[in-house]
Amino acid sequence: MDRPKLSFFSIRRSKLSGDFIFEAVVGLFALGVIVLAFLLFRELLIESQLSWNTFGMGFLTGSTWDPVSEIFGALPFIFGTLVSSFLALLIAVPFSIGIAIYLSELAPEKLRTPLSFIIELLAAVPSVIIGLWGIFILAPFIRDYLAPPLSTYLGFLPLFQGPMYGLSMLTGGVILAIMIIPITSSVSREVIMTVPLQQREAALALGATGWETTRIAVLPYARSGIFGAVILGFGRAIGETMAVTMVIGNSPRISESLFSPSYTMASVIANEFVEATSKLYISSLIEIGFLLLLISVIINIAARILVWKMFKVEGGGRA
Amino acid sequence: MQNKITVENLNASFGAKQVLHDINIGIEKNGITAIIGPSGCGKSTFIRCLNRMHEVVSKARVSGKVLVDGKDIYDSDIDPVDIRRRIGMVFQKPNPFPTMSIYDNVAAGLKLNGINDKEILDKTVEESLKKAALWDEVKNDLNKSGVSLSGGQQQRLCIARALAVEPEVILFDEPCSALDPISTSKIEDLMTGLKEKYTLVIVTHNMQQAARVSDYTAFFLYGKMIEFGETNQIFKKPKEKSTEDYIVGRFG
């Protein structure tokens, strides 16, 4: 649904009118963002040159991270970031869509605003606080109450094997899930609320129950927007640093088990940048930063394309 | 005349605002009853009370009786979902499900009823589209999206969707107000054909449309039913002064 674009230039006016100045000023602001993004990219590229020249593609495939002998491979961090974010999505998406449906379709009118407010407030909790809570409450809880049944009943899967000390990929994934639920659920809720009443009535008039109306009329109509909300959450999870650093265990290894500690790209930069002494060490960390940016960009572009190609709903919600 | 629906002392309101006052009317079985009146007179609210769609909006309230085959649909032991399966509705703006194909749009109501047999679905989809006079235009594009059709075709698709669940009554809420004259006349012809099997109620603020298609006409004004009778009588010899004024176009 394209809304007609109103161009300031289509309005007749003398040069240097208020409109012209206004347009120039806001245009400059908009341009500033683009320039900033470009400079950021350029800086990361230049600063990571040394690491790139030394390791080449081996940086992406190497799994040794040894600052003493200056051998750097980023694979464990890429693995840690992708797996923890994916795990977070797996947990967060059902919760978020459930919350969104409840708040937009089912909750009593009086509860909707306060509940949405509280959920959005969760997004305002500083991530270091969530991290502290993760260390003291969540990690022991997962270790004592979640991991034992998982390894008892699902222990035949490599995912749930091995010892569990609390700080682990699983804990990181759960923390990330908690952190992305507010954004994913509130964007989904807004998307669901834009589904026209006529669509709901079409289903109701066929004799659909409340749940059936949601299933056949509301969710399909809102699917592209909900997908957008999920990707937004994924982007958050990939870039999240503080809380996940505090609970994931910070050990650069690739393990099949979610019980073993891991390390993410953002975490290694945060942890090691200050103590990185050699040029190659710094350059390698910057290359990780560059890769992190690249992954976010690629995921966002891929999501856009997917929304355009697959989920397009005529007259439907937009991502 | 044999009544399919009998409405007794129906009052309806949104919050503190009462929109319908003491409506009493009988809707003839296998006939077309038109509800006319200026905007805001409560005619849409009235037909939404007939299949319990009025209460879908928050703060909407209804009192009084709506007897369908002698049974009050507002009785506490009645599930509104069942009522809406028996009394279908076609809306002002065509509202096909945009993510579904033409076929799936028509089959949607059947699937809700748990019918998944491909043969039955195929047969019902074809029959419903034929009844809605759309089959010839879409028979080769059943897998295309429902919203790829023109406005008039979309409205007929919505009629086919309503017909597929075999309702007893179909309510039309200004079904042609968004359509061009050719599409409008197709839908009017369609309605005349449908009354053999169904009881139809149409809300319209196009008086000529009411005169063309309906057997009975009710004139509503400010939430009250002013006059009700055979369409011929209402348009030729209205008893009430305000009915006449509205019909000849002195207001509205």
ipTM of the complex: 0.89
Q: Over 60: is that where the pLDDT of A318 sits?
A: no
Check residue B91 and give its pLDDT: 93
pLDDT tens by residue, B96-144: 999 999 999 999 999 988 888 999 999 999 999 998 889 989 989 898 8
Give the DSSP letter string of A89-144: HHHHHHHHHHHHHIIIIIS-HHHHHHHHHHHHHHHHS-HHHHHHHIIIIIHHHIII
Q: Which domains does chain B have, with CATH numbers?
A: 3-248 (3.40.50.300)
A165 confidence band (pLDDT: 50, 70, 90): confident
Q: Over 50: is that where the pLDDT of A32 sits?
A: yes
Q: Which of residues 62-121 of B touch A (CB under 8 A)?
A: 81-82, 84-85, 88-89, 91, 93, 95-100, 108-109, 112-113
What is the distance between the alpha carbons of residues A297 and A289, in angstroms, rounded to a whole number?
12
Check residue B200 and give its pLDDT: 94
A-chain CB neighbours of B91 within 8 Å are: 198, 201-202, 205
Check residue A123 and give its pLDDT: 86
Across residues A186-214, what is the average pLDDT?
92
Check residue B121 and give its pLDDT: 93
Check residue A5 and give its pLDDT: 57
A20 confidence band (pLDDT: 50, 70, 90): confident
Check residue A317 and give its pLDDT: 41
B146 touches chain A (CB under 8 A): no
Hey, are the CB atoms on B85 and A206 less than 8 Å from each other? Answer: yes
Check residue A155 and give its pLDDT: 87
A-chain CB neighbours of B100 within 8 Å are: 220
A-chain CB neighbours of B95 within 8 Å are: 196, 198-199, 201-202
A-chain CB neighbours of B56 within 8 Å are: 200-201, 204
Across residues A253-271, what is the average pLDDT?
93
- The CATH number that domain A75-309 falls under is 1.10.3720.10
The predicted model scores a pTM of: 0.83
Q: Over 80: is that where the pLDDT of A221 sits?
A: yes
B15 confidence band (pLDDT: 50, 70, 90): confident
User: Which H or E run contains A197?
Assistant: helix A197-205
Check residue A174 and give its pLDDT: 96
Total Cβ atoms within 10 A of residue B128: 24
Q: Over 90: is that where the pLDDT of A163 sits?
A: no
Give bridge partners of residue B32 from the DSSP assignment: B200
The lowest-confidence range among A210-214, A217-221, A225-229, A309-313 is A309-313
B11 touches chain A (CB under 8 A): no
- Residue of A110, A206, A209 to mutate, testing the B interface (most B Cβ within 10 Å of its Cβ): A206
> How many angstroms separate the CA of residue B152 from the nearest CA in chain A?
17
A316 confidence band (pLDDT: 50, 70, 90): very low
Residue (of A151, A163, A179) closest to A246 by Cα position: A179
